[in-house]
Amino acid sequence: MDSRFCYPRMLACLALFYCTHFSLAAQESEDVLFFDASANQTSTSEGGGAIWSFESNEWRWWLRGAKSVNISPDGGTVLYTYNGNLYSLGINETSGRKLIAEGPGNGQAPSHPKWSPLCDRISYVIEDTLYIAETDGSSAQSIYEWRNNWQYRDRDYAWSPDGERIVLVGSEKDAFGNVVRRSYKSGDYEVSNVGLNQLVVLDISSGLQTPLLLSEFIWGQSMENFRERANYYSPKWSPDGKKIAIEVYRVTNDFDGHNVNVVQNVAIIPAAGGSLEYVTDFPLLERDSLEVSHISAWPAAWSPDSSKLAYFYYRVSDLDNSGTYITDFENPPARINRFTSRYTQWITLNGNGAKFTVSVPDEVYKPEDIIEATIRIRSLEDEPVTIMLDDPILSVELDGVLMVDEEEVNLGPYVLSRENPTVEIKVLMLAESRDIVDIFASGTLTDSTGTEFILVDSETVVIEPLTTEIKITPEETGALSWRRSATRETPLFPRTNKKSGLIVSRFRLQLQIERAEKSRNWISSEVMTC
């Protein structure tokens, strides 16, 4: 947390605490991991849907025998497969409703079922096709086809928080939709018909596919340095919409095509594209025999506020340390249990009130950019609730930084129910000047008993940090030689001086110099820019 915003953030957090922890009903709210538990990890013949409680640090069954479990964002209803059929079942119910017995086209069993973030649609995979349907399984439409993808988990995908896009792992394709096959040659060795996978962001309404990240293929230079490839799997879109966690699967092959060394790591990529940031950094081990097991790590689920990530670590020769880990990206990760799974969610059960969030899609903006903020409200109550937003719909911490367009914004009232639990309000803002600023939204929830509760959330908006170029020239030519470039570009995150109105930043410039007599020392200077 930025100390400059401690006071308003404290008020927001305090209000948010009361809005999400008020008036507990017969069943108290519970933060859990909802996941597929395997047969061997539960000492059963079939495994099933399970729940890990953060409060009790214990696991319990939800439904034995259920596979591919996926719970709705409001924590009320679960999709799962059983004996090749797709079912829907209330979290506290005992009789499931069969949604799909056979696939729409070829009779194959459905897999990878998921709820949309708005609880208004479901999605699932049948063989090599991704479908979207109504919540009762009707009106199924094909939105994506995997072709010539040989690994089963290539079919994994994740919804964007706004329910408008899906990120998935697909084959690299040309402009005509054909799978690209490549040939590589190194010395006397050549491999052909190589297909690379890529992360693709699919716009559901238009069908537009935007490549986000292409897998890598690297040739070795000798028999001792085999060819290497890196593929990407298991995407998990953060609830704030800004990041996607993925599994990076690296493998080296001998020239007969056999896997020699394998490692799987967890990494994060900005949802808008960019460089990978690794969460784990396990090495690519040399595998001299089959007894040397490789290291596997893959993302499990984001925390509801996107501040933490659960991931799995597994190694046959290190089962005592294998299991589920939680990282907050600042402290060492903590192991919480021994389970690993391909179907996991971080969810609140028996939630009360509403989830109330404010978000913007990008990390950094420029002056004169149009910024679309989203206020997302999701009811956690079984009975209908009414939401009324406060005026102004968005409050800005500093004047002259953001201009909010409120002309066509509806403050409510919004009625949310179990059948229609979510509403999104889009608010446009104009970036006017460079700064870092907080925006706040608030409202009132009225439950079925007439009791009112306050909803508050905030988001930080960064508008184009400055880039300053510093040039230093020695007074005596030849007296000093620069070990590093004398020109450095330094990104600055400025703050507005409220008295002068100037944007002021301080940073320390440090260069290593080498004198004529070969002695080295560091010089530093504090620079202030306006």
At 438, which CATH number? Answer: 2.60.40.10
Beta-bridge partners for 349: 30
Q: Which of 406, 436, 463 is the last residue of a domain?
A: 463
> Tell me: the pLDDT tens digits for 200-253?
899 999 988 888 887 766 555 444 444 566 788 899 999 989 999 999 988 776
Cβ-proximal residues to 9 (8 Å cutoff; 6+ apart), any chain: 1, 2, 438, 458
Question: How far is Cα 74 from Cα 91, in angstroms, rounded to an integer?
Answer: 10
Number of domains in the chain: 3
C-alpha distance from residue 6 to each of 1, 13, 121, 329, 494 (Å): 7, 10, 39, 21, 18
Cβ-proximal residues to 42 (8 Å cutoff; 6+ apart), any chain: 48, 50
Q: Are residues 404 and 474 in the same domain?
A: no
Q: Are residues 454 and 480 in the same domain?
A: no
Closest CA to 247 of 220, 221, 273, 265: 265
Q: Are residues 184 and 272 in the same domain?
A: yes
Query: Is the Cβ–Cβ distance between 437 and 398 less than 8 Å?
Result: yes
Q: Are residues 231 and 360 in the same domain?
A: no
Range 431-435 average pLDDT: 90
**Per residue, what are the HEC states of 27-68?**
CCCEEEEEEEECHHHHCCCCCEEEEEECCCCEEEEEEECCEE
Closest CA to 156 of 406, 343, 398: 343
According to the model, what pLDDT value does residue 192 have?
56
Range 341-357 average pLDDT: 85
Q: Are residues 442 and 475 in the same domain?
A: no
Q: Which of 410, 428, 463 is the last residue of a domain?
A: 463
Instruction: With respect to residue 489, please indicate whether it lies within any of the assigned structural domains.
Output: yes
Query: Which of the four pLDDT bands, split at 50, 70 and 90, describes residue 108?
Result: confident
**What number of CA atoms fall less than 13 Å from residue 269's CA on the CB side?**
23
Range 294-319 average pLDDT: 92
Range 102-128 average pLDDT: 81
Q: Where are the alpha helices (DSSP H) in 241-286?
A: none
Token pair, residue 435, equals 């700064």
> Tell me: the pLDDT tens digits for 238-261?
998 999 999 998 877 655 555 567
Query: Is the Cβ–Cβ distance between 127 and 106 less than 8 Å?
Result: yes
Domain that holds residue 240: 151-294
Q: Are residues 155 and 272 in the same domain?
A: yes
Q: How far is CA 133 from the centre of its chain?
A: 24
Question: How far is Cα 470 from Cα 489, in angstroms, rounded to an integer?
Answer: 7
Q: Are residues 168 and 264 in the same domain?
A: yes
Helix (H) or strand (E) holding 19: helix 6-20
Instruction: With respect to residue 342, please indicate whether it lies within any of the assigned structural domains.
Output: no
Kindly state the DSSP code that residue 5 receives in the 8-state scheme.
G
Report the SS3 class of residue 198.
strand
Neighbour tally for 291: CB within 10 Å? 8
Report the SS3 class of residue 176.
coil
Q: Which of 260, 294, 328 is the last residue of a domain?
A: 294
**How much is the pTM?**
0.70
Question: How far is Cα 244 from Cα 169, in angstroms, rounded to an integer?
Answer: 12
Instruction: With respect to residue 87, please indicate whether it lies within any of the assigned structural domains.
Output: no
Cβ-proximal residues to 500 (8 Å cutoff; 6+ apart), any chain: none
Q: What's the alpha-carbon Rg for the chain, to the nearest Å?
A: 26
Beta-bridge partners for 89: 78
DSSP secondary structure, 363-386, as one string: SEE-TT-EEEEEEEEEE--SS-EE
Kindly state the DSSP code that residue 361 receives in the 8-state scheme.
S
Token pair, residue 348, equals 């609140």
Q: Are residues 191 and 288 in the same domain?
A: yes
Mean pLDDT is lowest, of 17-21, 38-42, 260-264, 286-290, for 17-21
Q: Are residues 383 and 488 in the same domain?
A: no
Q: Are residues 290 and 162 in the same domain?
A: yes
Instruction: With respect to residue 358, please indicate whether it lies within any of the assigned structural domains.
Output: yes
Mean pLDDT is lowest, of 9-23, 246-260, 436-450, for 9-23
Phi, psi (deg, nearest 5) at residue 365: -125, 170
Give buried/exposed letters for 393-414 (b at 16+ CB in 10 A, else e): bbebbeeebbebeeeebeebeb
The chain-wide mean pLDDT, for the chain, equals 76
Instruction: With respect to residue 484, please indicate whether it lies within any of the assigned structural domains.
Output: yes
Q: Are residues 251 and 210 in the same domain?
A: yes
Question: How far is Cα 166 from Cα 179, in angstroms, rounded to an integer?
Answer: 20
Q: Are residues 288 and 157 in the same domain?
A: yes
Instruction: With respect to residue 325, please indicate whether it lies within any of the assigned structural domains.
Output: no
Instruction: With respect to residue 229, please indicate whether it lies within any of the assigned structural domains.
Output: yes
> Tell me: the pLDDT tens digits for 155-186?
789 999 989 999 998 776 666 666 666 665 55
Instruction: With respect to residue 116, please indicate whether it lies within any of the assigned structural domains.
Output: no
Sequence letter at residue 192: S
